[in-house]
A and B are shown apart, each in its own frame.
Chain A
Amino acid sequence: MNDPIISVRKLTKRFGDFTAVNAISFDVERGEIFGFLGANGAGKTTAMRMLCGLSFPTSGSGRVAGFDVMREGEKIKRHIGYMSQRFSLYNDLTVWENMQFFAGIYGMSQRESIARSNELLQRLNFAAEKDTLVGSLPLGWKQKLSFVIATIHNPGIVFLDEPTGGVDPITRRQFWELIYEAADSGTTIFVTTHYMDEAEYCSRVSIMVDGEVRALDTPANLKKQFAAETMDEVFRTLARGAKRGE
């Protein structure tokens, strides 16, 4: 399977006479860490909702994880992983119960779910905490757990929406090592962030301005293209030109 895991053409979303996302086209290859950046109000969230099968495009075409974004939103949802900015596991369930719960939601059989949960616990070195209530775990562990639970059904791609907001610098880096590891073993990562140093960790980065994708390339090439030292400078150059009122 070498076809891109995301391939969209002229994807557009209008709300009344407001065009939130205006004809965006791009591909994301399997195993990439794809950074999805944009200024506030650039249309990032709307675009991401369409890619995750949560909102139907007004026009355009494309496929995510093998399914049609115009017609197969439900199937897309089952075949992707998603982790939101805010921690979303159940604090009053144990680590193991959370894993079983989410595996169940994704329709995994009990046997699959048990095998997969054990595998993930082992990989995280977390077997001893199996029966610990999630609410009593330190924030860093909660985050790692949310990430692996987002991959419990072995999705080809995981969407991470500002996964590291408000996290301390050490935990933030441990989280990125987990991302590196997952990408290294073939899982595609689609990630949004406001930390520009994290943009440097991505294989490729796209930057949205006023509903359009204005730049898309590797961090090294983007820095060259905009004669910038850092991704922060690249972002500022592009975002300053934004016409949309935030």
Chain B
Amino acid sequence: MAAIEVHNLCKRYGKVTALDHLSFTVEKGELFGLIGPDGAGKTTLFRLLATLLNPDEGSATVEGFDIVGDYREIREIVGYMPGRFSLYQDLSVEENLDFFAALFGTRVADAYELIEPVYKQIEPFKTRRAGKLSGGMKQKLALSCALIHRPKVLFLDEPTTGVDAVSRSEFWDMLSDLKQRGITILVSTPYMDEASRCDRVALCNEGRILTIDTPCHIVENFDKRLYAVSGDNMFTLLNVSRAVSGVVECYPFGSAHHIVADAAFNENEFIAQATLAGVRNVDVYPAEPTIEDVFINLMKQ
């Protein structure tokens, strides 16, 4: 039995289809990422799996329990960290923790060894009101509270949104530790570069899954010719590139632009044309595709 099984799950809000016949499976102990922008349906999916909403069509199970019929059982075994901070702002750090422990009929001491790696970073501030914590500290408190009843499955809805690059990386280290302890983790993020921290990912957009695989396979399956180009005036280069023969697509990609090319593309010809258009120091070289290249490509299909 898989930890999470989703079959043809559908959810509509009026005319908007938030989830459009989604199907996927998460194995026990897997760290599974839902990668996609706002409007992909990530939050709706979490609410369905956490039994806070009922689907319009389709079904899903968590640890074998049905999300509609067995909602009581599911609530006992999942930890859910919503995207918006939803702890009690006017309770202190330790009061929040005690409260969530009491809700699940347990004590903080019983789960301390599990939450310790996360909680010890905010323990020095345990008498501070949750509303007065910084963003990163709120995130750690919310994760501690979601772990207090030793859940089998953890749902984390965009835990790293709005968090700086260093704190994001530390958060993923914490998730790797939790995975080592056998907890199944379903986590969503709009940051494509975080895909590499997951065992498998589903790339999602507008209520659909574009592809599901390991991050490595997703990148390996990119079957187009990809080049990186740079030059002195990047804005001019962007406009010029799109008119060069063999260029299917050109888009900014960090310090270079990426070009998706067809058979007609020729590197020397490209340099000649870009130089003619007034861009100096033009450089072209084959590029390794990333998750983001794949995502862009799948969105355009």
Contact = CB atoms under 8 A, between A and B. Distances in A.
Interface of A: 38-41, 139, 162, 165-171, 173, 176-177, 180-181, 183-184, 194-197, 200-201, 219-220, 230-232, 235-236, 239-240, 242, 245-246
B51 interface: no
A40 B205 contact: no
B190 interface: yes
Contacts, number: 93
A169 B295 contact: yes
Interface of B: 36-39, 134-137, 161-167, 169, 190-192, 205, 234-235, 238, 251-255, 292, 295-296, 299-300
A181 B235 CA distance: 8
Contact of A41 (B37, B38, B134, B300): B134
A197 B164 contact: no
A169 B255 contact: no
Contact of A139 (B39, B169, B235): B39
A74 B262 CA distance: 54
Nearest to A223: B255
23 contacts: A39-B167, A40-B136, A40-B167, A41-B134, A139-B39, A165-B161, A166-B37, A166-B190, A168-B295, A168-B299, A169-B299, A170-B296, A173-B252, A173-B296, A177-B252, A194-B163, A194-B165, A197-B254, A201-B252, A231-B254, A231-B255, A236-B169, A239-B164
A168 B164 contact: no
Given A41-B134, A139-B38, A180 B238 contact: yes
Contacts of B165: 194, 196, 232, 235-236, 239
A143 to B, nearest CB: 11
B228 to A, nearest CB: 12
Given A39-B167, A166-B190, A197-B253, 10 more contacts: A38-B164, A168-B295, A170-B300, A173-B296, A176-B252, A184-B235, A195-B191, A200-B255, A231-B255, A236-B165
A41 B138 CA distance: 13
Which residue among A162, A171, A195 has the maximum number of chain B CB atoms within 10 Å of its CB?
A: A195
Which residue among A180, A194, A220 has the maximum number of chain B CB atoms within 10 Å of its CB?
A: A194
A40 B295 CA distance: 28
A13 B83 CA distance: 31
Contacts of A231: 254-255
